[in-house]
Amino acid sequence: MQHYDTISIIYNPVSTGPSKSNAETLAAVLRKTNFKTTITTIPTDHSGHAEVLAHDLALASKKPLIISSSGDGGYNEVINGAMEAQAAGAKVTVGLLPSGNANDHYSHVHTDGSDLADRIGSGDSLLIDVLKVTYTPAENASAEQSGTTTRFAHSYVGLGLTPHAGKELNKRSLNFFNEKLVVIRSFFSLKPITLKVDNRRRRYDSLVFSNVQKMAKVLTLSDSASVRDGLFEVTAVVSRHKLHLLRSLAKTALATAPDSTSCKSFAFTTTRTTPMQLDGEIVYINGRSKVTVEIVPRKLRCII
């Protein structure tokens, strides 16, 4: 039975991981059994290109499957393109071929040890929740800053330490040792963020909204997080002193879930330009912007 009209595997040709080789290997396997399906591997040219490709591919056929051979960041681009195409009527399924560093989403969702090619052949897919972030600048913002922006995340949205460390990690070609060094330096150079929550100013070292149990491979966020329960977890580290943050990180690294709250929606206002990390993507939110994080239940069809 032919489950898809087209299968497109998007990869980053300059990735430090096996993005290209994994894509080509999967395509070769699929071509042996999916004779009537058009199967292509497509390289990206620049940051954000996977989102554009996913959007266009999703609208180009009736039953497309779009696979990201990447880590969490590349997959984030693909789901944003797919979600935009869904709003225009596309019936798209996305897939993830883990080829990155952390692969947090894959580790959380893929728990049965099944082979991706076999699941594609059987048409076995899953409807999962996605995190939706909407931010609107202040009413008196400049024309360049005006307008509401909507972005999606498959695993987490982080402010404070998460984008601070992620920004530094993105600047370097990583190995086991310098990755740890960058994280340590980011910890000591971190400055708290100030947000208005429920009309009160609050200072955080870290604020994470998530629907996966772990972040960055080793940091435990929740023991009960799910991509199918219509909720996300809010994990906040209020800014006190570096020792407090260090204790919080040590607990999560030792697989001890921190205190968290389950929510369907969380709203705040930035007090100054604030970096935010959505999976592997870092965006900058202008000061005095109204931000809402909410869950969109079982909106994304995927094979992982």
User: What integer best gives the mean pLDDT of the chain?
Assistant: 87
- Mean pLDDT to the nearest integer, 101-119: 85
Average pLDDT over residues 37-53: 97
**How confident is the model over 236-260, as a mean pLDDT?**
70
* Cα 196 to Cα 138, 206, 265, distances in angstroms: 13, 15, 15
Q: Is residue 201 scored above 90 in pLDDT?
A: yes
pLDDT of residue 176: 45
The pair of structure tokens assigned to 259 is: 């205190």
Helical H segments across 69-175, by residue range: 72-87, 104-109, 116-122, 161-169
Q: Considering Cα of 92, then 96, then 101, then 105, what sign does the dihedral take?
A: positive
Across the range 253-264, mean pLDDT stands at: 75
The CATH homologous superfamily for domain 6-124 is Probable inorganic polyphosphate/atp-NAD kinase; domain 1 (3.40.50.10330)
For residue range 131-182, list pLDDT tens digits in order: 999 999 877 665 556 689 999 999 999 999 888 765 544 544 444 444 545 5
Closest residue by Cα to residue 30 from 126, 115, 94, 125:
115
- Out of 80-89, 97-106, 158-167, 289-298, which region has the weakest mean confidence (pLDDT)? 158-167
| SS3 call for 100 | coil
The larger pLDDT score, comparing residue 101 to residue 155, is at 155
Q: Domain locations in the chain?
A: 6-124, 131-298
Q: 176 or 115: which carries more pLDDT confidence?
A: 115
Considering only CA atoms, which of 230, 229, 231, 233 is closest in space to residue 220? 233
Average the pLDDT over each of 13-22, 57-66, 111-120, 273-282 and give the range with the smallest value: 111-120
| Whole-structure pTM value | 0.89
Q: Which H, E and C letters describe 172-199, residue by residue?
A: CCCCHHHHHHHHHHHHHHCCCEEEEECC
- Does the domain at 131-298 match CATH 2.60.200.40? Answer given as yes
User: What does the pLDDT read at residue 185?
Assistant: 61
Question: Residue 257 pLDDT > 50, yes or no?
Answer: yes
Mean pLDDT of 261-280: 95
Kindly state the average pLDDT of the residues 75-87: 97
Mean local confidence (pLDDT), 18-45: 94
Q: Is the distance from CB of 119 to CB of 302 less than 8 angstroms?
A: no
- Let me know how long the chain is: 304
Comparing 79-93, 119-133, 243-257, the range with the smallest average pLDDT is 243-257
Band of residue 15 on the pLDDT scale cut at 50, 70, 90 = confident
